[in-house]
Every structure is written in C-alpha cells, then in structure tokens.
Amino acid sequence: MDKFYITTAIDYVNGAPHIGHAYEKILTDIIARHYSQRTNDMYFLTGTDEHGIKIQKTAAAKGITPKELCDENAQKFKDAWKALDINYNKFIRTTDEEHEKTVQKIFKKLVEKGDIYKHSYEGLYCSGCECFLNPKDLTEDGLCPDHMKKPDVVKEENYFFKLSKYKDAIIKHIKDNPDFIVPSFRANEVLNQLEDIQDISVSRAKTNVQWGIDVLDDPEQSIYVWIDALSNYITAIGYDTETPSEAFKKYWPADVHVIGKDILKFHSIYWPAFLLALELPLPKHIFAHGWITIDETKMSKSLGNVISPTSVLETFELKEPDAFRYYMATSAPCGRDGNYSDEDFKEKVNAHLANSMGNLLNRTLSMLVKYFDGVVQPKNYELVSGSKELVKKALGTVKIVENHFNHFEIAEAAQEIMSVVDLTNKFVTDNAPWTLAKEEKMAECGQVLTTVLEVMCIVSALIYPYCPNIAQSMAKQLSFDLNVKLDDITDENIKEGKLISKEDITPVFLRVDSELADKSAKK
C-alpha cells in the first residue's frame, strides 16, 4: 500500500466539542493508526468549519467578533483531541487564508465553466442544517426532521450549482462501486435522495450572511457552506485550480472520508458532483458512522446530557485515554448507533482491558519470573497440546482484523482481538502452568508461558490502534517492537533468554474503581 489518506468531517465551531465529535475522531484515529501499520505513508486530516450565520449570531450575542469565537472554540477542539491521543497530521480551519483563497478559485472556475449560475430563489432554509429543504423533507408539522424547528422562508438572489447535471454520473458511480458508501445499506438511502435532486444554492447574499468567504468579482455574495467546507479535503493537501501541489498529486483521491450519517447526503451527492465538475477523481470510500446516545437518550442541551470528551477521563481519574477510546470504538457495529453510560463503560473496560487482557499478561510474566527468573524457555510446541494451534490462531487473526478494517468494521475487529485473548486465557486455565511447576514439569510449564507471551506480542500490535499507551506498555514488557508492520509479524516474536525482572512487571491497565464511577460519591 503506497499511501493512505483519511479525513474526518470538520466540526462546526459554534460550540465546544462533545462526545459525538469525539466518537468520530476516535474511530478515525484508530483507522489511521491501523493503516500506519500497513503503509509507510499515512495522512490524517481533521479540522473545523468556521463560517456561517450561526457563528455570526453567536459571536454577536457574546459581544465578540466571529473570528474571536472561532479562535476560542477551535482551540477547545484541538485540546480535546490532544487529550484523546488523536494523532492527526493536519488540523485545517476554514478561516485559514490559503483555504479561503483556493475556495474562491474553485468557485470562480465553476462559474467560468458554467456549472455555477446566478438565480433568484425563494425557499425553506434551516439554519441548523445550513441548507434549503424541500417541503417533502419536513415533518407533518412543517419542521426540519433533524432540528425540529420550522425553517425560515428565504427569498434572495444566489449563485446555484448545477447538481442535476451530475445526477446520472453519481448514480452510476454508486451502483458500479458497491463499497463507495459504507455501510452498504446507506447506498439505497442516497439513491432515493438522488431521484428528485435539484440544483443547489452555493452562495448567500451578504445582506443575510456576512461571515463567509467573498465571491470573487461579486463581494455582495458569500460562498455558501458546502463548497467552502467540503473543499477542505483538497485544499488541505495543496489543491489549486492551476498547479496542484505534489502532496495533492500523491494523496488524492482520499481513501476514506469518515463522517456522521446526518451529513451523508452532502458527502455522497454534493461533494462527488463538485469533484466531477472540477474533473477530479472521487474518494474511494465514504464511511458514515452512527450517533452516540447517552443512557439511551439522544444528546440535547435542554436535557443537560451533553458530555464533553474529556469529562469521562476526569470522572474516572484516567491518566490515559485508552479505556475511553476502546469503549467508544466498540460501542456500535459498523455504521449503527451506539450508547454511552458510566456503568457500562466501567464494566466493559474492567472486563476486557483489566481482567482479560491486562491480567493475562501480568500473571504470565509473574509466573515467568517465579518459575524461570524471567527467562524465556526454548520453544517446543510438541510439549503442550494446543500451543501451536493457539499461536497460529493469533497469527491468522491479523488477516481477519485487516479485513474488518478494509470494511471499516472497527468494533468487529476489536471483538476478534478479544476472542484471541479469551482463547489464551482458556489455554492457561486448561494447562495450569502453576500445577505443571508443582509437578516439576518445567519444560511443559515453560512452553505454556512462552506460547502465551508469543500471542500477547501479536495482541499488543493489534490492540495498538485502540489503546496506544496500553499497547506500548505491553510491548515494552515483552521486548516487542511495535513499529513492525502487520504483514511482518511472525510466530517468532519472543526470543529465548532473559526477558524481564520482577520490578519491571507493571499492570498495563488498572481496574476502574467502582466508587469513581459514582459521581455523587466523588462530590
């Protein structure tokens, strides 16, 4: 694999980040870290969307400029992603000068091509969606189905993009490429939306929206959100209408855009149409994840159940974000909705990370020190029934996990990793190395421990994208190189000889204390 270019949606900076934003960034970071184990050239883009009427109004209400509001909130997103170990290559802001200039050039090129034209229009505009809605899209009460608010009737002269011109090409692309939209069940939803697609407004009159990028040669118009926001995926890597950069030539098309299901229409219809108009290749995949509810209830400011990304770390006094990353990544199957609750978080991470995985490594290393002074014994798979098969199973799981990631099945991949951990725990229980040592069957005892340590090297590599800090702690105690590519992992990871001393054995993840999960107790 020559390169892998992955992006998130850019977050609107009208407010601070919440757990839903974090879910998407964690999923994307895990995918990026996994593919960094398969390629030498990984590029991960995230950022913030910073123009529009909502920011204009919020800034005015706070008595600050829109740019000041954007600066304040963009930093909150950066701080949150740092706390969650989101290891992006670039953080783009749509107020970046280079982005704004390129968006103006893109807009002008499409005007000159005839794909953008000026037109007087009256329609129903939802400020929450930042788009015009068709009457048929509304609820029986005439409300936006996503924001449950009545859209405004807007009449103005705007620039329109000839979306209908590219309808047939987009339909053909979706049908010819069944893995373009992930999960695949979302494709029919998009195809239904395409049936009566109309040209779309791509500018707003400055009398209504001042906070936006000016249209070149027509400063009375602001470039509307979707050409501005969606173009970040190409402006960030140096796209230019005249001479694209070497980075753009290398990384485009994107391997995957990771987005929420609520903005799938814009990414699978509007964005491909813009790219076709610019005569650029389409992204390989669009992965639309589900939403995260809180205690089975949709997040809402009015309900007071909006959780910040770092509050879970604070509540459970977690020094590293690995447990939260793991929990969020495994909260839902590919593309489905997930749920967060304090109690479920505590139970799941204790069971998987502390009891199953962490304790398995800790007690195995402790027995190695106790029975062999920390020295790995010579391998002889014939000594212990099932030992060779277990290592082979672990090695085979690498390909299974890779296949899940090929389809962006993050939770499903984690389940495979944990199934290997469970099998290894069963192997230890069935073979009881403590009994073998008591019976002075030291060769057999040594083989059991070596088998487990061999498997744990593989597990540390596979769990790394989810839990980078835990994986590094595991690898350090195993003297295993986490920089190894997945294709280069073998069944010869553990070397004979001195591995570890008693003082160097540390738990890779401590159980979450049940009292810490009780917020009332903490108060």
Which residues are annotated as catalytic?
18, 21, 126, 129, 144, 147, 298, 301
| Nearest one of 474, 291, 292, 329 to 405, comparing CA atoms | 329
Backbone angles phi, psi at 433, to 5 degrees: -60, -30
Query: Which residue from 326, 276, 230 is spatially nearest to 7, judged by alpha carbons?
Result: 230
Q: Which two tokens stand for residue 7?
A: 């992006």
Cα–Cα distance measured from residue 330 to residue 343, given in angstroms and rounded to the nearest whole number: 15
Which amino acid, residue 318?
L
328, 18 in Cβ contact below 8 A? no
Does residue 258 sit in helix, strand or coil?
A: strand
26-51 CB burial, b ≥16 within 10 A, e <16: bbbbbbbbbbbbeeeebbbbbbbbbb
Rama region for 427: left / alpha / beta (φ>0; ψ in -120 to 50; rest) = alpha
- What is the token pair recorded at 96? 């970046």
Q: How far apart are CA 258 and CA 267, in angstroms?
A: 10
Q: What's the CA gap between 447 and 388, in Å, rounded?
A: 10
Distance between CA atoms of 355 and 364, rounded to whole angstroms? 13
Do 88 and 45 contact (CB within 8 A), yes or no?
Answer: yes
How far is the C-alpha of 247 from the C-alpha of 43, rounded, in Å? 10
Q: Provide the 10 A C-beta neighbour count for residue 370.
A: 14
Q: How far apart are CA 34 and CA 14, in angstroms?
A: 32
Give the closest residue to 478 by CA, choosing from 454, 462, 497: 454
CB of 107 closer than 8 Å to CB of 215: yes
Of the candidates 340, 314, 308, 310, the residue with the CA atom closest to the CA atom of residue 327 = 340
The type of residue at 507 is P
Inter-CA distances, 155 with 111, 119, 124, 204, 257, Å? 22, 11, 9, 10, 33
Question: What pairs with residue 93 in β-bridges?
Answer: 48
The gap between the terminal CA atoms of the chain, to the nearest Å, is 51
| CA gyration radius, the chain | 26
Q: Which amino acid is at 241?
A: T
CA–CA dist 404, 410 (Å, integer):
7
